[in-house]
Structure 1
Amino acid sequence: MVLATQLTSAQVDSWLKRLAVEAPLDKEGRFVFLGPVHTTRTGWVVRARCAEGKEVALRLLRPELAAEEADRELFLAWAQACARVEHARLARLLEAGSLLTADNFELLFAESPWVGGATLKHMLQGRGQGLPAEQAFHVVGQVAAALAAVHATGVVHGELRPSLVVLDRKQNATLIGLGVPPRLRRRTELLGFGAWATAPWAPPERLASDGETVEPNADVYQLALLAYEAFAGIPYPRWTAPDLLSDMVDYMPLAMDELLQKCLGDPDLRPASALEFLAQLRDVEAGYDQNVRDRKARNKVSGKQLKEWAETLLEQTYPPYELVLSLAQKAKAQRGLLSLSSSLERELSELAHRAQAGLRQRLASTFKKLLEDRDFTAAQSFLDRVAEELPGEEVVEHYVRLERERAQATPGKTPEAVKALLGFLKKPELSFAARLTVVEALESLLGGVVVAAPVGFVKPQGKLQVVETFRVQDQPVTVVLGPVMRLGRGSFTQFGNHVDLAPPLEKVAEDSALLLLAQSISRAGHVEFRIGAQGLEAFCLGTHGITLDGVTLARGESAPIRLEGSLVVARGATKGVYRLVQSPEGEVLALWVEFAEGVAAGKKALWVLQRLPLSLLHPEVGDCGLADPTPEGWVVEATTSGLRLGGLPLEVGVRRVWQPEEKLVLPGEVEVIREGV
């Protein structure tokens, strides 16, 4: 017999993979293997059939967690406490003990009924949206009731999440997987089988504790995350501003947002147990039913109320910064509907800034702990999850640090680290600064100089559009984001051209020669400015060619872009000039193109790769500020006085979102309006 003290998880893994369906799991023949095997941090969950012919779920504990007699006794005592919990919506623990396998392995096990059906996680992924509100209240209420029964016996679940909630055909929920004692879960972390402290469902206080003592309010935190996902259909965002459920779900009262906010902050502010959470959830449900009867689909709340709400959250020991950011953004968005004072706008901007700084600090602290524990696998998994919410630009520095420290800790991993870092250089959306960070890391690993293409671009996402029109002194300027700017005779919708070089119909009707010239320009793109292997280049797509800086290019040929130069399209159909703008550090910011002759005379276009210097919009305004493309939209920052946005002065250093149809006034009273797509 191989005792748990001599056994390894790798041996158990190998044995389980060799098991055939209907093979006995133990020498006594009590359990028959039915498969499949689900691997967890603490062991394995196996579908089996017991001697009575019923299907059961066997949780097999990793042998490393039962190496000490004290740990074995702790697990069995925990299982005994769990066995006392009974509730109709809970897969209760039936039995626990020691199992001698057919391969003479001694393993600790816990037996529960096998619960058939789809998990809540699987159902939400299949729907692509949240459950209907009435059904979500029903499911979350059943889970909370089952969890209340668990808490009543002094047990804490510890790992509540949608994948551990199974729904039957009548949409009734059953909570499964009571897990293991907190001390063994902590041992799991120390042994490198997976970090619980940084798991998506771990409460914020877990990072500052030893993890060996867990209170019921930790389950309440996880219950709030589960509730959000049930109603919203997506996991609760931990690193970006979540949409409030009262905004997402018709008739949902603000009390739902208030309940979740209490649960997601400091432990002592949460409902003390699942029973208290359930009572408050029922009050919210009653408010929802009343709103349905009153046909009150939306809630009215002022910007001042939202600001005060956000300020209260910031006073906590573990502020839910993502909620603060959400409230500040919601209040600022009211500017288009309601009049906000300039002082309130400044306060909201400051709140948003503090929330973003808090999120960055929380990210850095969490990542730092994983590196200190030398848990590189968990650190990689953590960054991958964060990158699902944040642009790669914001986490690349952490990825670089991970690869450097992993390579230093294990020299044999250097080739893998180099390969991973080179992969980042292939991502064109990374900024110039991020690329330099990657290059410096490669140089330190390789001991040499690495040459990388220094051109990055901002990927259109969130509220950004690929193509917009800015009206400068009532004259249109096409603004393009992304890795390429294509010019041709036709619209973006029809032919994929970001800039339409076709002349107005009224001019064509008056001048047949103009029509002939226009027809020589290819519809689906004649020329495109793009990021090439050696930097920015112009690429000819049209059959009638282009001339760039005096060099004629046929279809399929390209040439590098200079700091400024000339462009002739389709043998003279239209002629223009271009100018490249860089930062003092050499980072490419934007490309300006203006046509002076031919079919496109008077047309202007801006290809913004990183930031838009406002001086490009009009020759008389000077270096007065920048417009940054962000997921929240275009954000304007003044570097000199004299700018106004939406009728309000824009102070130096202050950043504000530039809303569509909002007027931006530059020095010299130059007016710019975002017309949108």
Structure 2
Amino acid sequence: MNFAPGLLLTDRYRLEELIAEGGMGQVWRATDETLQRPVAVKVLRPDSGGDESFVERFRVEAVNSAALQHPNIVTVHDFGEGDESAFLVMELIEGQPLSAVIGERGPLPADEVTEILHQAASALQAAHDAGVVHRDVKPANIVVDADGYARLTDFGISKAMAGSGLTQTGEMLGTAHYLSPEQVQGRPATPASDIYSLAVVGFEMISGARPFVGESMVATALAHVGQPAPQLPETVPEPLRTTVLAGLAKLPEQRPADAAAFAEALRLPAGTVPAHLVDGAASAVSPVVAGLPDGMFTPYPPARGDTAEGA
């Protein structure tokens, strides 16, 4: 199916304007003609509609997102599919992806970074409480409006903790610059993996650069395992500095206990070092002896056909 302005989906959602496009789908501004309200409609790209794995990701996103009710998570209203297409109807957010904000203005002020991280961490805690791991936390999946209000979106490769995922053991699925070390190693993603990815986002907002960049997507992914995180300048205020670095710890148990703990640490009084996170922060920037910290096994490149998706 070719999507164009004026197209009416299921006799209800009329497409108006293409507002975003990615590797798998397009996002359209649309009108819900039944309820007479603006909505965002995410559709599979015309050249992807016949790929059952892409359609299944849409189904996963619909099911997992529909279970989440939180002011910092984009609300999903509806899902539909036909012989050659699938679409997801969401609330329309008037804002920019955080990736665009960083590209235009980064590095961002510390108070703005703290606020966006706090909101995103709160959203992740709600998802984790509902049994959903996002698995692809990155700036492109955080939408920020003109007032600085942030919303987490795109649960397309998320995984219900009690259910089966779309990937097999040893497969990396996510974006290489934001993958946790355990995901790179083929271990299952957990809530701690989302915390690591959010800490990478925080580092990028603070510095304007990603902490790990390699000559290829595989090299970038493996850097999360074998290289220490760069130090953040001492000029970065506390508790932001230590909280973000602790989130980058190689071992999940050295990161904040959960997303709520990450958010709470950011709310400590200005200038306060979160003492319970100091060890984790120190481990994140410490040299990795023999390429690996204690408790981690040798990383390996993804198997043939497995990919670490680009940003």
Q: State the TM-score, normalizing by the size of structure 2.
A: 0.73
CA distance in 2, matches of 1:86, 1:257: 30
Secondary structure of the corresponding residue to residue 275 of structure 1: helix
Aligned-residue offset at 1:96:
2.0
CA distance in 1, matches of 2:228, 2:250: 15
CA distance in 2, matches of 1:161, 1:37: 16
Q: Deviations over 1:483-506 (max 9, x none)?
A: xxxxxxxxxxxxxxxxxxxxxxxx
Aligned-residue offset at 1:228:
1.4
Q: How does 1:571-650 map to 2 (within 5 A)?
A: none
Q: Deviations over 1:52-92 (max 9, x none)?
A: 34332223355456479xx85x9647634422322222211
Matched, 1:153 2:135: no
Matched, 1:186 2:186: no
CA distance in 2, matches of 1:197, 1:90: 19
Secondary structure of the corresponding residue to residue 9 of structure 2: coil
Q: How does 1:472-551 map to 2 (within 5 A)?
A: none
1:126 maps to a residue whose letter is E
The residue aligned with 1:429 is none
Which is strand-richer, 1 or 2?
1
Question: 1:173/1:33 Cα in 2 relative to 1: closer, same or farther (>3 Å)?
Answer: same
CA distance in 2, matches of 1:173, 1:198: 20
1:373 maps to a residue whose letter is R
CA distance in 2, matches of 1:37, 1:108: 16
CA contact (8 A) 2:113 2:206 kept: yes
The residue aligned with 2:201 is 226
Secondary structure of the corresponding residue to residue 277 of structure 1: helix
Q: Deviations over 1:537-567 (max 9, x none)?
A: xxxxxxxxxxxxxxxxxxxxxxxxxxxxxxx
The residue aligned with 2:37 is 54
The residue aligned with 1:38 is 21
Question: 1:254/1:177 Cα in 2 relative to 1: closer, same or farther (>3 Å)?
Answer: closer
Question: 1:49/1:220 Cα in 2 relative to 1: closer, same or farther (>3 Å)?
Answer: same
CA distance in 2, matches of 1:197, 1:146: 19
Matched, 1:201 2:182: no
Q: Which residue of 234, 248, 263 maps to 1:247?
A: 234
Question: 1:64/1:200 Cα in 2 relative to 1: closer, same or farther (>3 Å)?
Answer: farther
CA distance in 1, matches of 2:205, 2:13: 38
Q: State the TM-score, normalizing by the size of structure 1.
A: 0.37
Aligned-residue offset at 1:118:
2.3
Matched, 1:278 2:263: yes
Aligned-residue offset at 1:203:
1.0
Aligned-residue offset at 1:148:
1.8
Unaligned runs of 5+ in 1: 1-11, 292-307, 314-319, 326-350, 386-677
CA distance in 1, matches of 2:107, 2:113: 8
Aligned-residue offset at 1:196:
2.4
Q: Deviations over 1:218-269 (max 9, x none)?
A: 11111111111222222223557654335242xx237733652354311233
Aligned-residue offset at 1:38:
0.9
Q: Which residue of 74, 85, 98 maps to 1:120?
A: 98
Count of paired positions: 283
Matched, 1:216 2:214: no
CA distance in 2, matches of 1:67, 1:49: 28
Q: Which one has more relative contact order, counting CA pairs under 8 Å at least 6 apart?
A: 2
Secondary structure of the corresponding residue to residue 267 of structure 2: helix
2:200 maps to a residue whose letter is L
Question: 1:67/1:144 Cα in 2 relative to 1: closer, same or farther (>3 Å)?
Answer: closer
CA distance in 2, matches of 1:201, 1:246: 21
Secondary structure of the corresponding residue to residue 201 of structure 2: helix
Secondary structure of the corresponding residue to residue 245 of structure 1: coil
Question: 1:89/1:39 Cα in 2 relative to 1: closer, same or farther (>3 Å)?
Answer: same
The percentage of counterpart residues that share the same residue type is 22
Q: How does 1:62-141 map to 2 (within 5 A)?
A: 62-63=48-49, 66=52, 76=59, 79-98=62-81, 100=82, 105-127=83-105, 129-141=106-118
The residue aligned with 1:167 is 144
Q: CA RMSD in A?
A: 3.9
The residue aligned with 2:217 is none
CA distance in 1, matches of 2:85, 2:251: 39
The residue aligned with 2:11 is 28
The residue aligned with 1:403 is none
Q: Deviations over 1:459-489 (max 9, x none)?
A: xxxxxxxxxxxxxxxxxxxxxxxxxxxxxxx
Q: Which has the larger radius of gyration?
A: 1
